[in-house]
Structure 1
């Protein structure tokens, strides 16, 4: 059942592959620029703390060495980009470079988000249309067995939650793993010993995230059921407001609604 559900979702999403491709490419560029911004920020701190003449001497020594480690190569390329005749000029070029990288990084982040948002809204529009068409094809016995408020909640709230889940899933599946790999790569370039030490906490963090994630999923299901109950009370009360007024049931309906909202508040 789950596999067929995933297949159906894939068929709905893949139709918008140009926006998905654009979002993926923008995400990759964002990750690359994000890593570059971290490296340049470290270079800024390094330039402030280290004597400028020592910085020039180190750069000249790298030129004479010929064979360099990856860390030294990155430092050499960075220094070649930013080093000028005076410390003030070097700092000015470095700050300008960092500003351009951060600005470009956020442009690609916006491009990734806006492309994914287009896919999300196309998806929820099509799903709501299909749901509405499906509801209209069902027999009267189905509507006798199910509350109209719950069906309304499925069309409005559950589909909206699916849209948010799609955006979050894309970010977690595509962006975060690449971001993590880029950070680990930078750590190993700087110091492989410290990188190995930092990797020790990954299994602990992974287990903690797994436990919390399961708890959140269970709570999300209960929350969706509570929202459906609240929506059902609103729908029933408003559609039968003349009956409620005729039998002076206003206080009863208000207390029933308050009870549902209190339970929802305690749940979240």
Structure 2
């Protein structure tokens, strides 16, 4: 019921079009069932001498000139059949047009909502779902729903109307022959229901296997440098082949299920048709029914059996649609971030204070433990520590990607939880460790944080990031198109472009999350000097495990296993026992050994 409610909600605005489509289907069905009755009339009462018992048919004959006139002009009845066929075709066309238009719009609505959910979901959403699986739900699953709404949804109405009209007419003409004509129909219908339950299970397995396949493709396209750098092509090809084999086998099982259904239902339909022809011929030969009645029943038999067989297809597609709706609903139910709740604006100087902050994804396993420190406005502060010490988690908390429960974080004396997420993310300019670039020009990539920036501003930001001269060396300069994720650039070039992108905007706090690791020491020094000259009022936070990157900071916060172990400047820390002094001693020893070796 929840899936049906979801579908009905998305159909809002297009229900009238579906109603019109179902009406067109009903009229099409009506015209199609009238045609055999006109043939029966022609055979039994125009060419033959059987009295016309139906008042409607009697009026039609009188309207067309009477029995004698029609007997001399049988082409008129032929013309009536042609007109009925044309009307049938017209309404079938309208049904297809209106249902397709509605289905396309509903599919667009699904995609729009899914995309909005993906972008507005909480940060932990991306750790719950694989990217290939998300893509699968947004494309293949939406396409399954679109196909059902465009074709099978309206066919349900057509099937019900057609079956109702045919059964009413057949039983009104001859009850005994009608029973014979519908003898095997219940068996076909029960078989269709069984097929529905089986195909739903198989489709879910096949759909999930396709999602795994999409994930492997996406991962290898994204990580193609790693694959090639470590010569992992053969391993990844075999990994893909294994996933592909699994998908093929599951899909093959699905195809076998379809083949069994159609072949068995074909057999039942042929038996039913043969039964009608044999019994009908006997009844006609013995005078129990007229030749026209035999023609009507044999015509109706095809019309009757096809919709019943189609119920299997309709139900199987409905099963696929239910699976797809379930998978889509899982995404749409994900809680969205409220970006605007809280203080939306105040003057920010850049003072930051952590007080007794404890945080972890699991209560029994905290990443940060009683973290306390102060950062003064305009200062350059470094977070130093080994991998996994909690440095990046501090930045995640500052950006409100995650919210803390224990302790206090304040920006200029205002509790961070009381500030809206949208405003918080306008305060902080972050250069992430993973330098991500879009498949656009270098100019467009730099201008992402400030779309209407002038070329002079872009050049200025590139100069601060020490990448301006490098860009000018390219044939197309700032109009150089970089590959997806900046694959055509070196690691250092990508990082410097992301730095330029960040410093283009006027942020109160700049955060470099180990983002200078891919540039040489000399370039790193030039970037830091340029940043200092650019604005002495901007608070700068540098995250690194390299002493060369942090030693010139005004304040260095040393972290180890989620705790702050030492705080001070470089001179103070190299004279204090702790992680910083150990790393400094090791690096100094290596440098001395290298100098002696030279």
Q: TM-score, normalised by structure 2?
A: 0.39
1:109 and 2:92 aligned: yes
Per-residue displacement from partner, 1:16-73 (whole Å, max 9, x unpaired)?
Answer: 13312221221111111111123234556x3xxx7xxx846726xx3xxxxx644xx4
2:20 is matched with 22
2:166 is matched with 183
Q: Distance in 2 between matches of 1:267 and 1:88?
A: 63
Judging changes above 3 Å, is the alpha-carbon distance between structure 1 residues 55 and 28 closer, same or farther for their aligned structure 2 residues? closer
Q: Flag structure 2 segments of 5+ consecutive residues without an equivalent.
A: 252-598
1:1-268 correspondence to structure 2 within 5 Å = 3-42=1-40, 46=43, 55=46, 58=49, 62=51, 69-70=53-54, 73=55, 76-77=58-59, 79-80=61-62, 81=64, 85=69, 89-90=73-74, 92-268=75-251
Per-residue displacement from partner, 1:114-148 (whole Å, max 9, x unpaired)?
Answer: 11111111111111111111111223322123210
Judging changes above 3 Å, is the alpha-carbon distance between structure 1 residues 229 and 201 closer, same or farther for their aligned structure 2 residues? same
Q: Distance in 1 between matches of 2:244 and 2:39?
A: 48
Structure number with larger C-alpha Rg: 2
Greater relative contact order structure (CA < 8 Å, 6+ sep)? 1
Per-residue displacement from partner, 1:59-88 (whole Å, max 9, x unpaired)?
Answer: 6xx3xxxxx644xx4654565548565867
Q: Flag structure 1 segments of 5+ consecutive residues without an equivalent.
A: 63-67
Judging changes above 3 Å, is the alpha-carbon distance between structure 1 residues 260 and 95 closer, same or farther for their aligned structure 2 residues? farther
Q: Distance in 2 between matches of 1:86 and 1:154?
A: 61
The alpha-carbon deviation at position 250 of structure 1 amounts to: 1.8
Judging changes above 3 Å, is the alpha-carbon distance between structure 1 residues 180 and 18 closer, same or farther for their aligned structure 2 residues? same
Q: Distance in 2 between matches of 1:39 and 1:185?
A: 13
Per-residue displacement from partner, 1:187-222 (whole Å, max 9, x unpaired)?
Answer: 123311111233333332221111111111111111
Asked if 1 retains the 8 angstrom alpha-carbon contact of 2:132 and 2:218, the reply is yes
Instruction: Select between 153-162 and 31-40 the one with higher mean Cα deviation.
Output: 31-40
Judging changes above 3 Å, is the alpha-carbon distance between structure 1 residues 218 and 43 closer, same or farther for their aligned structure 2 residues? farther
Q: TM-score, normalised by structure 1?
A: 0.82
Asked if 1 retains the 8 angstrom alpha-carbon contact of 2:99 and 2:151, the reply is no
Q: Describe the SS at the equivalent of 2:73.
A: helix
Judging changes above 3 Å, is the alpha-carbon distance between structure 1 residues 233 and 42 closer, same or farther for their aligned structure 2 residues? farther
Aligned residues: 249
Per-residue displacement from partner, 1:227-254 (whole Å, max 9, x unpaired)?
Answer: 1112111111111112112122222222
Q: Give the alignment's Cα RMSD to 1 decimal.
A: 2.5
Per-residue displacement from partner, 1:93-113 (whole Å, max 9, x unpaired)?
Answer: 222222221121111011011
Judging changes above 3 Å, is the alpha-carbon distance between structure 1 residues 56 and 161 closer, same or farther for their aligned structure 2 residues? closer
